[in-house]
Amino acid sequence: MILFMRHLLFRDFWLKLFSLILAVLIWKIVSLAISRDVTPSTVLTNNPLPERTYYGVPIKVVFAAQDVRNVRIDPTAVQITVRGEERVLQALQPRDIRAELDLTGIQGRAFRKQVDVSLPAGVIKVQVIPSDVEVILPQQP
C-alpha cells in the first residue's frame, strides 16, 4: 500500500506540480475577472484600468436624409466616463468621443431617447450622464 501511494505521488512529480500551479493561476485569473469585470491583462498586473471623465460632450442628432426637422433636445451635452490603458487615455482627444442621438423614423412629438456613444478601440464606456435625453419635435404645419 505504501509503495502504491509513493508511486502515485512521486511518479512524474514535476509535471504534476506544474499542472497544479497552472490550474491555480487560471482559477485566480478567471475569478478576479468575473468579480471585477476586467480584462486578463489587468488581472496579471493587478492594476485596475484608469478612468477619465469628459464633460460637455455635445450630442449630434442624426436624421434620415428626407426627414430634416427642427428638433430640440434637453440636455444638449452629456458627461461620459471612459476606462482604458493609460497610454490610450492620454492619446484620447475629446473630438474622438461621439455622442449621437438617432432620430431616423421617429414618431410622436415628445419622448425620451437613449444616447449612443462611439469610442475608439481600446476605450471602454463606463457611464453616460444622462443616459437618455428628452426629444421635442415642433408641430408640423
Q: What percent of the chain has pLDDT over 70?
A: 79
H or E element in which residue 51 lies: strand 51-62
Closest CA to 127 of 81, 84, 90: 81
Residues 62 and 77 both lie in one domain:
yes
Indicate whether 121 belongs to any domain.
yes
Cell of 126: 463606463
pLDDT in tens, 78-136: 898 888 888 888 888 888 888 888 877 676 666 788 888 888 888 888 888 888 888 87
Q: Please answer whether residues 138 and 69 qualify as being in contact, where contact means their C-beta atoms are separated by less than 8 angstroms.
A: yes
Which pTM does this prediction carry?
0.57
Range of the domain at 35: 2-45
- Looking at the structure, tell me whether residues 28 and 11 fall in a common domain: yes
Return the CATH number at 70: 2.170.120.30
Residues 129 and 66 in one domain: yes
- Give the C-alpha distances (Å, rounded to integers) separating 1 from 8, 11, 64, 87, 126: 11, 15, 81, 60, 59
Q: Are 1 and 8 in contact (CB under 8 A)?
A: no
